[in-house]
């Protein structure tokens, strides 16, 4: 699953966050985008939901480190996204 961050400075921090989890594989695919795969037997829907939950946990962690926490993660502006591409899971 691709995760797009609007802030290129946070990409390396997100990569470290996922690398610290034993069941994650993450790779950078752009200046502000990574691809995350969870190891295990997941169907696409549950896999994507699990990745979104981890992205949300990352933002909670990042917010504690002084980074601005986006309102949500999917970028659709309905309470599940911030509309500016920060933390958008696709």
- Check residue 59 and give its pLDDT: 86
More confident residue, 19 or 79: 19
Q: How far apart are CA 84 and CA 70, in angstroms?
A: 9
Strand partners, 24: 38
- Check residue 33 and give its pLDDT: 94
Average pLDDT over residues 66-74: 45
In this structure, of 25-39, 58-72, 76-90, the range with the lowest mean pLDDT score is: 76-90
Q: How far apart are CA 64 and CA 58, in angstroms?
A: 10
Average pLDDT over residues 4-28: 91
- Check residue 9 and give its pLDDT: 85
Q: How far apart are CA 44 and CA 61, in angstroms?
A: 26
What pTM was estimated for this model as a whole?
0.66
């Amino acid at each position: 699953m691709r995760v797009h961050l609007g802030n290129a400075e946070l990409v390396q921090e997100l990569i470290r966050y996922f690398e610290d989890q034993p069941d994650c594989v993450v790779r950078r695919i752009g200046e502000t985008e990574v691809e995350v795969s969870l190891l295990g037997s997941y169907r696409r829907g549950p896999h994507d939901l699990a990745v979104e939950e981890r992205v949300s946990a990352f933002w909670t962690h990042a917010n504690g480190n002084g980074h601005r926490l986006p309102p949500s993660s999917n970028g659709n502006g309905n309470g599940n996204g911030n509309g500016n591409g920060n933390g958008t899971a696709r």
